[in-house]
Amino acid sequence: MHKVVANAEEAVKDIPNDAVLMLGGFGLCGIPENCITALIKKGITGLTCISNNAGVDDFGIGLMLKTRQVKKMMSSYVGENAEFERQLLSGELEVELIPQGTLAERIRAGGAGIPLFATPTGYGTEVAEGKETREIEGKMYVMEQWLKADFAIVKAWKGDTLGNLVYKGTARNFNPMMATAGKITIAEVEELVEPGQLDPNMIHTPGIYVDRIFKGSNYEKRIEQRTTRK
């Protein structure tokens, strides 16, 4: 199966309005910058975006919020985005805030084919409202459902033409599990190599999960909050 596409525009060309997207990354680390830019150019709307965060006002998913392309955000951390806050408070944006570990496990469960699991996180809080709860061995648990997406869009450090991916550092937090949970998985990479050039023991996402891959460019690699000594 030929997986290599020319660029981000080709990779996202068939993503329709009202699609459910997973967008990898942790904060501003390991986000699919090229694909986000291509989605903005494409102009599709009504998107449900599942991501660890909502970017910042002028970078990442924050740019898609500015163009009013996102209908719903499912995230665990959104504190760096003033436009997100404005849309939430005005009722323009539907939001589901999910504890970070629960979000990670719901995505992993989606990729593993596990429709329901139990976690103590959130019991007795708003997180558990409307959800089934169970007592297991004397402790109360919230039953959480898997998360899956029409398209999972991830960013890796290196990949080969078969779709095998290697992530660097913090980019491993959400990208690998999202890559397993999309009906179609799109990967943008900093380096694209031929099969056999990646150490098999270092591959984090096997190519079986990846449908499209391309070499990205012009990565900013921003720091969300820079703190330095005086």
CATH number of the CATH domain containing 50: 3.40.1080.10
* Model confidence, pTM: 0.93
Mean pLDDT, residues 203-224 taken together? 93
Collapse the DSSP code of 159 into the 3-class scheme (helix H, G, I; strand E, B; otherwise coil) and give the result: strand
Reported confidence tier of residue 220, pLDDT bands at 50, 70, 90: confident
Contact at 8 Å (CB) between 69 and 40?
yes
How far lies 199's CA from each of 67, 129, 204, 208, in Å? 41, 46, 10, 16
Amino acid at 161: T
Distance CA 147, CA 52 (A): 13
Domain count, the chain: 1
Q: Is 221 domain-assigned?
A: no
Mean pLDDT, residues 69-79 taken together? 92
Q: Is 140 domain-assigned?
A: no
Domain interval for residue 93 = 8-116+147-215
Amino acid at 170: T
Distance CA 125, CA 113 (A): 27
Residue 225 has pLDDT above 80, yes or no: no
Q: Is 85 domain-assigned?
A: yes
Of 117 and 54, the structure prediction assigns the larger pLDDT to 117
Mean pLDDT, residues 16-41 taken together? 96
Report the C-alpha dihedral over residues 47, 15, 187, 98, rounded to 10 degrees.
Answer: 20
Q: Is 168 domain-assigned?
A: yes
Q: Is 135 domain-assigned?
A: no
How confident is the model at residue 159, as a pLDDT?
98
How far lies 95's CA from each of 36, 51, 54, 78, 213, in Å? 19, 12, 11, 10, 30
Q: Is 132 domain-assigned?
A: no
Q: State pLDDT tens for residues 42-62.
A: 999 999 999 998 888 889 999
Lowest-confidence range among 69-83, 95-109, 115-129? 69-83
Distance CA 105, CA 111 (A): 10
Distance CA 94, CA 88 (A): 7
Q: Is 201 domain-assigned?
A: yes
Task: Return the percentage of the chain with pLDDT > 70, whole number.
Answer: 100
Residue 221 has pLDDT above 90, yes or no: no
How confident is the model at residue 78, as a pLDDT?
81
Residue 105 has pLDDT above 80, yes or no: yes
Residue 121 has pLDDT above 90, yes or no: yes
Residue 175 has pLDDT above 90, yes or no: yes
Residue 35 has pLDDT above 90, yes or no: yes
Residue 172 has pLDDT above 90, yes or no: yes
How confident is the model at residue 223, as a pLDDT?
77
How confident is the model at residue 131, as a pLDDT?
96
How far lies 6's CA from each of 11, 57, 72, 132, in Å? 8, 29, 30, 46
Q: Is 124 domain-assigned?
A: no
Phi-psi region of 201 (alpha: psi -120 to 50; beta: other; left: phi over 0): alpha
Mean pLDDT, residues 81-99 taken together? 92
Residue 139 has pLDDT above 80, yes or no: yes
Q: State pLDDT tens for residues 143-169.
A: 999 999 999 999 999 999 999 999 999
